[in-house]
Amino acid sequence: MKKIKWSKILVFTALCLMSLTFLYPLIFMTMTAMKSGAEYLADPFALPKSINLDNFEALISRFKIMKNFLNTFIVVGASVVLITIFSVFASYAFTKLRFRGRNVIFLIIIATMFIPAQVTMIPMYVIFAKFKLVDTYTGVVLSYLAMGLPSTIMLMTTCFWGIDKEVMEAAKIDGAGYFGLVANVIVPMGIAGVAMSVITNFIGYWNDLFTPMILLKSMDKRTVMVALSSLMADRTSVDPTFQMTGLLISVIPTLIIYLLFQKYMTKGLTAGAIK
């Protein structure tokens, strides 16, 4: 009979408790979203007596949450695509090309990561106002580009350093040009860093409240987080179960993205330490 290793039991128990702690907010939101207002007030922590989807229907029909979803997908999708494309080519240049001032330019880009977004928002708003980019999707996308490029370039550069030059030389012999190398060698071999940056940027910008709240003034252009902030601010006339339903719906896209690409995120997180 194998001897019981108490250390493994303790580690397993600790991991289970941590998992339960992290999952509890999602579980509580799901339970609350399934309740009626009276049922929630009777016992907020009890299981729902039945599956009630009235809150979801009201959120879609009365609150027009799907319009906010579309706005968010437009802004976040465009931002993530542009950041990924620019970062791939920039990281390729920093890791595989030799040019004067390469290290200095890279350090300047990385240094901008330490500038808080709140510090740059006022001058950025003034510039956007002069170019009539306030209350436009373009203004938000450009703002996200400025914030997301430094960290994404750093992540991809770290990942691309490990790509063997022999593979690139072989591709050049086969006739691959600059874009061919990037598309057929760099991206496939550095897919961990690319996927990691796509997912983290998507989740970060999807959950962002600060930038769209300042730059988007029109009600019909509000993102999900801005719409939910107004919903959460009304604590007197809005049912708590309705608020929890909004929060639960907003979590679903990021949760799906994370579950689909979890293995790529793990590879991306460990790539820098290994290299």
The per-residue pLDDT for range 137-162, each reduced to its tens digit, is: 999 999 999 999 999 999 899 888 88
Average pLDDT over the chain, rounded to whole?
86
pLDDT-based confidence at residue 237 (cuts at 50, 70, 90): low
Average pLDDT for 15-39: 88
pLDDT at 127: 94
Of 51-55, 86-90, 232-236, give the range with the top mean pLDDT: 86-90
What residue segments make up the domains of the chain, in order of their start? 1-51, 53-273
> For 225-245, b where at least 16 C-beta lie within 10 A, e where not — what string?
bbbbeebeeeeeebbebbbbb
Q: What percent of the chain has pLDDT over 90?
A: 35
The per-residue pLDDT for range 77-120, each reduced to its tens digit, is: 999 999 999 999 999 999 888 889 889 999 999 999 888 888 88
Handedness of CA 197, 200, 202, 204 (dihedral sign): negative
As given in the structure block, the two tokens for residue 88 are 């791939």
CA–CA dist 246, 233 (Å, integer)? 13
Burial of 71 (0-12, 13-18, 19+ CB in 10 A): buried
CA–CA dist 31, 28 (Å, integer)? 5
Average pLDDT for 56-68: 85
The per-residue pLDDT for range 118-129, each reduced to its tens digit, is: 888 899 999 999
pLDDT-based confidence at residue 262 (cuts at 50, 70, 90): confident
- R_g (Cα) of the chain, nearest Å: 23
Superfamily of domain 53-273: MetI-like (1.10.3720.10)
The answer to whether residue 34 scores a pLDDT higher than 60 is yes
CA–CA dist 190, 193 (Å, integer)? 6
Residue among 104, 116, 124, 112 at smallest CA distance from 214: 124
The per-residue pLDDT for range 180-202, each reduced to its tens digit, is: 888 888 888 888 888 889 889 99
pLDDT-based confidence at residue 172 (cuts at 50, 70, 90): confident
pLDDT at 274: 47
